[in-house]
Structure 1
């Protein structure tokens, strides 16, 4: 305890070095709140009986505030892990976050003790985005959560079975390939085309409709989505000091809510249209299927079940399903095109495999997946090296528990550093190098992925969109390479710096590529 006192006193002497940062980021009101929180934290530390995971020294007022704006926080945490161990603690204001940087720590927390860490952190932004904790991603581990998770999983299984996914992909890719053809070999930024293709895939599955590339609704949605990732990825001071959201919300906080509400309004409009037009004899898409579940509860007069199937619950479930199949996939695909353009030998090998298995006279189908091991290995390697959601969605401890011998008090935020897992040299030889063959056997067949490969997390809160994302990518990549050669423009080298990075997503910069029709 004496050592802890010394650390706190030492940090007080360092506060003066933070004054320029405080003037930039903290208003008089937030400073007052911070002082109060800092003093409270000081006394809590004195009485703290927990053996928390180690980490960098946190300043009394702002914690490890300098890390909050770190665009490469995932890499920083991996380096801190080399000093402090596989499980580290960082602090943003009064809020502590435990970061898991090795697969052993992740398995202990999320598999062996999965129920202990199945909650989500309760934050002011999370409550706003989930309309009071009524979605799947951000709600707590309760019977209502289990019901909606089961409903969503059932809906996905129903609509990912058979022809529906590939029909949606084929329809969406028709305009995508036309747009690429119209570039006529000129350099272009592919992001908007990728976004449009994936947007229409999910609109087809969820709403039984598609939007053309110049549609204002599509453009408005995508602008809001991109800006949301950029702003929210830096973290919100309101989540550390919730009172600020009530008395003095920052411009960043208002922007985040505005961008999200723009996206949510689109989904709400689609949901309401389906409610108004619902016909139980014609289930057209995932939204109809979810509404049908409520109709069946009404027919059974199950009041308790109906209380968990309100409009708010259902539209949040639809939003979860839409984003689960959309967000990760679009970010992965934009990175994938850059890696393929920069690694021509990998691209040619995928094309040779697709030509052999599929040919040039028909489009790839889901049934071809088993015969395209190298193509799937390429997709896995993009997921690994890009790690488009570096910290996944944070967990929270439901009870007092332990990870790697350290105490984790109830309510503590716990996050998986997926980037650290995917770059752990114990499991990956030369992890900084793009090498799809690491996912293949010596015979060229798809090998079981190394245990440290977790692009969709693991345990009770693993990503809903895993099946959808894999199917989409295993159709889209072959379709693109079946028809086009992708290149970097003359004199251009690949730039792997992100446009946005942080707690929410790792977005590729607006790089240029060119395409040419294959002969």
Structure 2
């Protein structure tokens, strides 16, 4: 019995010694894993969610001062890496583009992208490359470029319709023009995708716009399910998931009808619009793994969700800052008048180089209120080392674009609205300013960047050429905080609209 006890003790000691030796080998002969620093205050299950609150971009930017440009936050049960500031974001998305160009496996994002059938949230693989290459080529074919045959005339026509609509409303009663802006931008997308625009009161178009807006709103309210996807199985809690699915089904039902109509009437030799080009490409590809029937609806949905909400919201922020800074509105209008004279038509893209203050004002609008403060999440396809930190494959990586656009190192007094930031000493527009990424950067840069720039210039300059916006007499100045959903949206405000 004593011998057995002694043997047991020896065995325990032996195991202990072996374990110590093993740990020593790990320490000295194997590189230790280096995680990015993480803020204190992470709670079990929820992580840092309570600290992030309703304005996560602000808290993440605040934490940058203490934890640096690269740190980790706990989102529920998962670690998420946050990139802050121009240098870290550019280094990751441009210099390390091979490592950070894919998308993470997140339930809600998978749901709204057909589990990678679209372009925006598709994993970075050969199928993604083929889809993006086609879409970019198709958009250029349809006029997403400068010069003859561009989308310019379509956008100018829409600008005329918008100014006419506002003139019909008159200036007797203050009004909110959010819906009018949304319809105008949506019609530009419709002219590219469906080959036609819709009247402002068209029932089918209004229904599509209503459902699309609801889809965007539900995406914004589904953040909790993004972190805790298991909630979609919990009755009473999963209503946002159910509504999201219903909205997508309605949007896709409308799209399927349009696709069917196009199939019946298309001329392969003379494609009319984006749908015709998609169908022609599908036949050419002969249903390869890279381009399939299932891709068509999801790619079109991308154009609407990413193209309408973002541009319309940017215009809303622009008009908000014009009523808050009437002196800036007057400067833009004075420049427009000096270049265009008494001409009552809308500006052209050829005028852009002659309107530097107008262009700088649009750039300042995009800087001061990044409509997507946190860019869509990236992820490394394989284990990656970045700035000395180990980032496992599949980890969500959030580029905090807000931290770059509001960085006092590059933008002194960043909360002050000042278009002169984007003008050089000769009064010309600074074309490639540092720490300015309204469309993100790298391989996943916004596909419709060129179209968005055309829309913003032509619509914004047309509005200020023909209309003056101001707050009702005695009205309190509206907040510029915004509400964070899928985009950072300003509050709806009633403005006095007077014809010039």
For 1:16, the equivalent position in structure 2 comes to none
Structure 1 segment 214-253 matched on structure 2, within 5 A: 214-246=201-233, 248=235, 250-253=238-241
- Which shows bigger deviation, 288-297 or 408-417? 288-297
Match of 1:270 among 258, 261, 275: 258
Deviation at residue 410 of structure 1 after TM alignment: 0.9
TM-score (norm 1): 0.84
For 2:291, the equivalent position in structure 1 comes to 309
Q: Tell me the secondary structure at the aligned position of residue 469 of structure 2.
A: strand
Q: Tell me the secondary structure at the aligned position of residue 444 of structure 2.
A: coil
For 2:395, the equivalent position in structure 1 comes to 412
Q: Deviations over 1:264-310 (max 9, x none)?
A: 43334333322332211321122222222223334xxxx6xx33322
For 2:82, the equivalent position in structure 1 comes to 99
Q: CA separation in 2, counterparts of 1:481 and 1:49?
A: 56
Measured at CA, do residues 267 and 375 of structure 1 come closer, stay the same or move farther in structure 2, by a change above 3 Å? farther
For 2:158, the equivalent position in structure 1 comes to 172
Q: Deviations over 1:461-506 (max 9, x none)?
A: 111121110001111111111111111111123313456314x201
Match of 1:205 among 177, 192, 200: 192
- Which shows bigger deviation, 76-85 or 281-290? 281-290
Q: Does 2:499 align with 1:513? A: no
For 1:438, the equivalent position in structure 2 comes to 421
Q: Is the CA contact 2:282–2:293 (under 8 Å) kept in the aligned structure 1? A: no
Measured at CA, do residues 268 and 380 of structure 1 come closer, stay the same or move farther in structure 2, by a change above 3 Å? farther
Measured at CA, do residues 431 and 95 of structure 1 come closer, stay the same or move farther in structure 2, by a change above 3 Å? same
Moved over 4 A (4+): 246-249
Measured at CA, do residues 223 and 372 of structure 1 come closer, stay the same or move farther in structure 2, by a change above 3 Å? same
Q: Does 2:43 align with 1:59? A: yes
Q: CA separation in 2, counterparts of 1:263 and 1:199?
A: 14
Q: Does 2:479 align with 1:491? A: no
Deviation at residue 88 of structure 1 after TM alignment: 2.3
Match of 2:462 among 465, 476, 479: 479
Measured at CA, do residues 238 and 422 of structure 1 come closer, stay the same or move farther in structure 2, by a change above 3 Å? same
For 1:11, the equivalent position in structure 2 comes to none
Q: Does 2:108 align with 1:125? A: yes
Q: Is the CA contact 1:202–1:322 (under 8 Å) kept in the aligned structure 2? A: yes
Measured at CA, do residues 496 and 224 of structure 1 come closer, stay the same or move farther in structure 2, by a change above 3 Å? farther
For 1:356, the equivalent position in structure 2 comes to 338
After superposition, the CA RMSD in angstroms is: 2.1
Deviation at residue 221 of structure 1 after TM alignment: 3.2
Deviation at residue 174 of structure 1 after TM alignment: 2.9
Q: Does 2:378 align with 1:395? A: yes
Q: Deviations over 1:155-186 (max 9, x none)?
A: 12222233441221122223311221122212
For 2:285, the equivalent position in structure 1 comes to 297
Deviation at residue 456 of structure 1 after TM alignment: 0.5
Deviation at residue 67 of structure 1 after TM alignment: 4.4
Deviation at residue 235 of structure 1 after TM alignment: 4.5
Measured at CA, do residues 199 and 334 of structure 1 come closer, stay the same or move farther in structure 2, by a change above 3 Å? same
Q: CA separation in 1, counterparts of 2:294 and 2:383?
A: 32
Q: CA separation in 2, counterparts of 1:153 and 1:53?
A: 39
Instruction: Give ranges in structure 2 of 5+ residues lacking alignment.
Output: 1-31
TM-score (norm 2): 0.87
Give 1 or 2 for the bigger CA radius of gyration: 2
Q: Is the CA contact 1:331–1:388 (under 8 Å) kept in the aligned structure 2? A: yes
For 2:404, the equivalent position in structure 1 comes to 421
Measured at CA, do residues 163 and 516 of structure 1 come closer, stay the same or move farther in structure 2, by a change above 3 Å? farther
Q: Tell me the secondary structure at the aligned position of residue 512 of structure 1.
A: coil
Deviation at residue 441 of structure 1 after TM alignment: 0.8
For 1:17, the equivalent position in structure 2 comes to none
- Which shows bigger deviation, 439-448 or 312-321? 312-321
